[in-house]
């Protein structure tokens, strides 16, 4: 049975859900992974009101769509980020009175993530995708010198922030799926293991697998699936390409997405360097049956063309595993 094909609405938050739903259905999708900003999904309203969740469900149902996950990336980022500059002012649904205050941003973000668990329960979905931010991302290069204790303290800080959040997820019977990503507490296999260890491997915490963020770092996405087969709670279909030209570096040179001199960039699925066939084979091997959710980001392609093209691509690459050995017919 083919997995449902959905699309993350974060890159479409400028459109009201009522308009977006019909458009996405016309592109061939089965459902939406609802971003918790714009008017797509409000976790605070969703946590308090089953009626609000039913209202959002009705919009989807009228368009012939379903929902398997909600995504609260922007709030999640502020839980462990230092929040000490203006980059996250006016971030997503952040109240204006939080601008300029690291503590107010963090308090709001923690409340938002706890609300997301309740809202997901009321919405009838089992997974909340998102980010965690990181208190130690700035220490990545280790200069000025960074001690092992500073890194350990960073993971402890993450656990101190997230264990109470995950307590709420446990109460609601919902799982959190971290999108492993630079600027998060986990950005590759080693740091993903360290994050799990910091949380004592509690089941509420797993991963939203997104191969694009691994590819440009030089990490094999298939190896990630093999390393954490029981922690893949959701799957993004997103592509990237490395474009090193001898002048640019893998750290992207402070050039924005879409600029020609970057050392890497995101691409629409099937137009980059990700080997999706091997990923599908590994998802089959580990028994993942959740949605394949397109996260469409490609500065060089019209997004409506890209969304339609991505849906067709995902349906083409998704295949079920064999239920017999290929050479079974040789037996008498």
Which tens digits make up the pLDDT trace of 166-224?
Answer: 999 999 999 999 999 999 999 999 999 999 999 999 999 999 999 999 999 999 999 99
Which tens digits make up the pLDDT trace of 264-304?
Answer: 999 999 999 999 999 999 999 999 999 999 999 999 999 99
Quick check: 115 pLDDT over 90? yes
Quick check: 132 pLDDT over 70? yes
What confidence score (pLDDT) does residue 98 get?
97
* Average pLDDT over every residue of 117-121: 98
DSSP string, 126-144: SEEEE----SSGGGTT--S
Quick check: 325 pLDDT over 90? no
Which tens digits make up the pLDDT trace of 70-111?
Answer: 999 999 999 999 999 999 998 989 999 999 999 999 999 999
118 contacts 172 by C-beta, under 8 angstroms: yes
What confidence score (pLDDT) does residue 313 get?
98
Q: Distance between CA 123 and CA 52 in Å, rounded?
A: 9
Quick check: 140 pLDDT over 90? yes
Please list the helix, strand and coil fractions of the chain in percent, rounded to the nearest 5, in that order.
45, 15, 40
What confidence score (pLDDT) does residue 331 get?
67
35 contacts 9 by C-beta, under 8 angstroms: yes
Round the CA-based radius of gyration of the chain to a whole number and report it: 20
How many other CB atoms are there within 10 angstroms of residue 74's CB atom?
A: 21
- Percentage of the chain lying above the pLDDT 90 cut: 94
Mean pLDDT for all residues in the chain = 96
What confidence score (pLDDT) does residue 32 get?
98
Domains of the chain: 5-330 (3.20.20.150)
pLDDT band at 329 (very low <50, low <70, confident <90, very high): low
Which tens digits make up the pLDDT trace of 44-62?
Answer: 999 999 999 999 999 999 9
CA torsion, points 237, 285, 186, 253, in degrees to nearest 10?
A: -40
Which tens digits make up the pLDDT trace of 229-247?
Answer: 999 999 999 999 999 999 9
What confidence score (pLDDT) does residue 2 get?
87
What confidence score (pLDDT) does residue 328 get?
58
Quick check: 1 pLDDT over 60? no
Quick check: 332 pLDDT over 70? no
How many other CB atoms are there within 10 angstroms of residue 167's CB atom?
A: 14
């Amino acid at each position: 049975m083919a997995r449902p094909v959905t699309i993350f609405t974060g890159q479409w938050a400028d459109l009201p859900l009522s308009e977006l739903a019909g458009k996405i259905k016309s592109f061939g999708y089965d459902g939406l992974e609802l971003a918790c900003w714009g008017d797509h999904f409000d976790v605070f309203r969703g946590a308090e009101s089953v009626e609000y969740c039913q209202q959002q469900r009705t919009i989807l149902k009228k368009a012939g769509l379903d929902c398997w996950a909600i995504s609260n990336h922007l709030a999640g980022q502020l839980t462990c980020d230092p929040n000490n500059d203006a980059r996250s002012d006016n971030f997503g649904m952040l109240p204006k009175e939080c601008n300029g205050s690291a503590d107010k941003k963090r308090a709001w973000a923690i409340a938002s993530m706890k609300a997301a668990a309740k809202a997901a329960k009321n919405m009838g979905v089992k997974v909340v995708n998102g980010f965690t931010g990181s208190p130690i991302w700035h220490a990545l290069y280790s200069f000025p010198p960074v001690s092992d204790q500073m890194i350990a303290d960073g993971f402890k800080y993450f656990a101190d922030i997230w264990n109470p959040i995950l307590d709420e997820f446990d109460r609601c019977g919902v799982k959190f799926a971290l999108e492993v990503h630079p600027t998060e507490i986990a950005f590759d296999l080693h740091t993903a293991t360290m994050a799990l260890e910091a949380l004592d491997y509690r089941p509420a915490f797993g991963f939203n697998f997104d191969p694009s963020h691994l590819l440009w770092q030089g990490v094999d996405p298939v190896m990630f699936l093999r390393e954490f087969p029981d922690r893949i709670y959701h799957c993004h279909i997103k592509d990237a390409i490395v474009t090193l030209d001898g002048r640019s570096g893998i750290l992207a040179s402070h050039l924005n997405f879409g600029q020609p001199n970057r050392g890497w960039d995101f691409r629409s699925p099937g137009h980059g360097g990700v080997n999706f066939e091997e990923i599908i084979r590994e998802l089959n091997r580990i028994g993942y049956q959740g949605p394949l959710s397109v996260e469409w980001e490609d500065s060089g392609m019209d997004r409506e063309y890209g969304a339609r093209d991505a849906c067709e691509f995902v349906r083409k690459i998704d295949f079920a595993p064999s239920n017999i050995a290929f050479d079974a017919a040789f037996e008498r």
